[in-house]
Amino acid sequence: MRYQRPEENEVVQLEQFCTEILEDLANNQLVLPTLPEVALKIREVVDDPNTSAADVAKIIVTDTALSVRLIKIANSPLYRGRHPINNVQTALARLGTALVRNLVTSLVMEQIFQATSESLDWRMRKLWEQSTQIATIAYVLAGQKNKLKPDEALLAGLIHQVGLLPILLRAEDMPELLENEAALDEIMTQLSSTLGKAILESWRFPPELVAVTAEHNDLQRNPKPEPDLVDVVIVAKLQSNLSTIESYKDWHTIPAFAKLGFSTDISVIDLEGNEAEVHEVRTMLAT
């Protein structure tokens, strides 16, 4: 869709909308999405040095659907061992609690992208589809680098646009804004990083994941020589839409490519040859 410059009255409305959201955020009056309870409990237990794998298993088995999915993942080509497993305890032993923490969070993340009305349904579905595509690419790219963990990159891809959710929910009661894609896109561009940072901090996520929501739109960011999760998400975003790369005249100067060790030749980071892994990751995220 071609971007159209907002009319003067639209500019005023946009500024008012943004101001109201930021004021509500500052006053703790903005309703932020909450992390599903099972993921919150798992993260708290895993981060507590006084708890065990058995404590993690007790939480997971209370959710039958989650238990089935976790066992299926442990038996998948991504993580399978010599023998098939059929219970949560063995899945935990194979995967490890740190990996399970990120996998559980990733598996339940789709719940917060559920629309509360028909007017938001297609936008929420589109947002989730974009997030899963970028998360899948991030997982594969991170797997090619020893310094990055694929499960963390997967989660980073899924949460990088979480800051858009409060904007869409606020716009739900404003049909004229939902219908004005240019105006809504402008608002999301202005506020997504700030709101995403606030959401992940409220979830007590680690700084490296908070940074993903706050900095993934800055293609020239380069705070340190070592690659991080923001770098892999930036590359995954560009890889998910090659037309974006081609239209960006100075794309070869993006620091994330060099830091991850990828050549500026786009074909080098093709996902060809990784189709099976891409399929398994997408299957893992499918409900």
> What pLDDT score does 275 carry?
80
pTM (two decimals): 0.89
Q: How many residues can be counted in the chain? A: 287
Select from 181, 119, 132 the least CA-distant residue to 161: 132
Residues 6+ apart with CB under 8 A from 230: 156, 211, 212, 215, 216, 221, 256
> What pLDDT score does 248 carry?
55
Select from 73, 177, 74 the least CA-distant residue to 123: 177
Select from 157, 93, 175, 145 the least CA-distant residue to 258: 145
SS (H, E, C) the chain: CCCCCCCHHHHHHHHHHHHHHHHHHHCCCCCCCCCCHHHHHHHHHHCCCCCCHHHHHHHHCCCHHHHHHHHHHHCCCCCCCCCCCCCHHHHHHHHCHHHHHHHHHHHHHHHHHCCCCHHHHHHHHHHHHHHHHHHHHHHHHHHCCCCCCHHHHHHHHHHCCCCHHHHHHHHCCCHHHHCCHHHHHHHHHHHHHHHHHHHHHHCCCCHHHHHHHHHCCCCCCCCCCCCCHHHHHHHHHHHHCHHHHHHCCCHHHCHHHHHCCCCCCHHHHCCCCCHHHHHHHHHHHCC
Pairwise CA distance, residues 131 & 125, whole Å: 10
> What pLDDT score does 4 carry?
45
Q: Which amino acid is at 226?
A: E
Select from 236, 192, 186 the least CA-distant residue to 214: 192
Is 39's pLDDT higher than 90? yes
pLDDT tens across 228-282, in order?
999 999 999 988 876 555 555 566 788 998 898 876 665 445 566 678 888 889 8
> What pLDDT score does 92 carry?
94
Read off the pLDDT band of 144 (50, 70, 90): confident
> What pLDDT score does 32 carry?
92
Mean pLDDT of 153-175: 93
Mean pLDDT of 48-76: 93
CATH topology of domain 8-285: Hypothetical protein af1432 (1.10.3210)
pLDDT, averaged across the chain: 87
Read off the pLDDT band of 118 (50, 70, 90): confident
Is 2's pLDDT higher than 70? no
Tokens found for residue 207: 């700084």
> What pLDDT score does 83 carry?
86
> What pLDDT score does 72 carry?
93
> What pLDDT score does 9 carry?
59
